[in-house]
């Protein structure tokens, strides 16, 4: 057997070559280790950043919808259910009310059924930039359908729940940019038959009020959530919305992986954004007006029928809509 000393002395050229290769191998290992550590740091940083991002919970919004429908299945103006819906909204913002960040906007509307008392609720999350992003949804059900079992699961209940869940996000992740105001508006539905004066009572009142007190000029965007919990979700490209906000919604959908759920249909919807659009405020209606199968007996699908029930909506669709709203807030802040 050759001793290690002898082997080393016998082939000095091999010894030096082996030492050189060992040295090169060690350097390579150190470089690989440094690269691995760098990638690990980047991963942990990205994970931490992702963990800090506001996260919407579609299942929580769905559960809130279920709870609202149980508490106030019929919410037409003047009904006990309407008052219960108001209480439901207020109880979820007790923390904001304690800080003076909840405003009750009570007004009297002249309707075809006489004078009716209505209320808008505005929940405010102060930001660090001068300006306001408004998210709105109506919470009442259709007054003409008060004598049938119309519950408005998609048409009012789910979007009310969506805004409540967005409020839960904003409570733990206060706005870093513009202030965000959540508006639960009353009287969106017609009292008799949809006209420019028999509809949109809450937002018409609010737009006029904010025009008078100077709030209107501070609004960077007024975005409406309406009928966007449909199981078969496809958010319309609404011609009454501001073009740059529609373009931004396309970007938001791409960023959140939801491009397949927007803009298959182009519509022109009369909704709560109109009173603000008419006063020059940038507006966006996130709505899926094509709701349910269209038949001879139900030409508008489930819309404004007793079929607008909890089983027609989904947590998945609420997740998509919630993701889009939060991403829109982020993009508007970057604009």
Report whether 243 contacts 315 (CB < 8 A).
Answer: no
| Range 87-92, long-range pairs (CB < 8 A, 24+ positions) | 89/121, 89/139, 89/160, 89/164, 89/184, 90/121, 92/64, 92/164, 92/167
Per-residue confidence (pLDDT) for residue 54, from 0 to 100: 78
66 has pLDDT over 70:
yes
Long-range contacts of 104-111 (CB under 8 A, 24+ apart): 105/205, 105/206, 105/209, 107/205, 109/187, 109/201, 109/205, 111/191, 111/192, 111/198, 111/201
Nearest 5°: CA angle at 68, between 305 and 268?
A: 45
What mean pLDDT is reported for the chain? 89
Beta-carbon contacts of 53 under 8 Å, excluding residues fewer than 6 positions away, are 173
Would the pLDDT of 21 be above 70? no
CA distance linking residue 45 with residue 36, whole number of Å: 14
Look-up of token digits 């800080």:
99
Report the pLDDT averaged over residues 159-178. 98
Calculate helix-pair angle for 243-256, 315-334, nearest 10 degrees: 120
pLDDT at residue 17, as a whole number: 40
The CATH H-level (homologous superfamily) assignment of domain 56-334 is Zn peptidases (3.40.630.10)
Q: What percentage of residues in the chain have a pLDDT greater than 70?
A: 84
- pLDDT-derived band of residue 31, with 50, 70 and 90 as boundaries? low
Tens-digit pLDDT profile for residues 215-235: 999 999 999 999 999 999 999
Give me the mean pLDDT over the 129-133 stretch.
Answer: 98
Distance CA 122, CA 59 (A): 24
Stated pTM of the model: 0.85
Which of 3-17, 25-39, 106-120, 127-141 is the least confident region?
3-17
- Give the model's pLDDT for residue 24: 53
Q: What is the mean pLDDT of residues 135-162?
A: 98
Distances (CA, A) of 264 to 235, 237, 242, 250, 323: 8, 8, 18, 12, 19
At residue 14 the predicted structure's pLDDT band, cuts being 50, 70 and 90, is very low
Between 5 and 321, the more confident residue is 321
The arithmetic mean of pLDDT across residues 124-138, rounded, is 98
Check: CB of residue 236 under 8 Å from CB of residue 290: yes
Residue 306's pLDDT band (cuts 50, 70, 90): very high
């Amino acid at each position: 057997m050759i001793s290690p000393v002898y082997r080393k002395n016998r082939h000095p050229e091999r010894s030096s070559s082996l030492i050189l290769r060992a040295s090169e191998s060690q350097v390579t290992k150190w470089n690989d280790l440094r690269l691995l550590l760098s990638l690990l740091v980047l991963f942990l940083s990205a994970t931490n950043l992702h963990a800090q991002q506001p996260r919407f919970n579609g299942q929580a919004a769905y559960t809130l919808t279920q709870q609202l429908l149980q508490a106030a299945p019929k919410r037409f103006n003047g009904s006990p259910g309407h008052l219960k819906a108001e209480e439901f909204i207020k109880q979820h913002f007790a923390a904001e009310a304690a800080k003076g960040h909840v405003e009750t906007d009570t007004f009297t509307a002249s309707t075809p059924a006489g004078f009716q008392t209505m209320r808008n609720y505005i929940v405010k999350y102060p930001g660090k930039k001068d300006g306001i992003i408004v998210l709105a949804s109506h919470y009442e059900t259709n007054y003409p359908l008060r004598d049938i079992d119309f519950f408005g699961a998609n048409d009012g209940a789910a979007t009310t729940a969506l805004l409540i869940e967005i409020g839960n996000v904003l409570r733990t992740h206060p706005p870093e940019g513009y202030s965000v105001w959540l508006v639960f508006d009353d009287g969106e539905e017609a009292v008799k038959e949809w006209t420019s004066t028999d509809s949109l009572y809450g937002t018409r009142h609010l737009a006029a009020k904010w025009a008078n007190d100077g709030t209107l000029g501070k609004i960077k965007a007024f975005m409406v959530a309406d009928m966007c919990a449909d199981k078969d979700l496809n958010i319309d490209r609404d011609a009454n919305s501001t073009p740059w906000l529609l373009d931004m919604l396309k970007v938001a959908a791409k960023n959140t992986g939801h491009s397949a759920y927007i803009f298959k249909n182009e519509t022109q919807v009369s909704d709560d954004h109109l009173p603000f659009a008419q006063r020059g405020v940038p507006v966006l209606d996130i709505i899926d007006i094509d709701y349910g199968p269209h038949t001879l007996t139900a030409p508008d699908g489930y819309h404004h029928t007793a079929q607008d029930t909890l089983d027609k909506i989904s947590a998945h669709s609420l997740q998509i809509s919630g993701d889009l709203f939060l991403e829109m807030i982020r993009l508007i802040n970057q604009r």
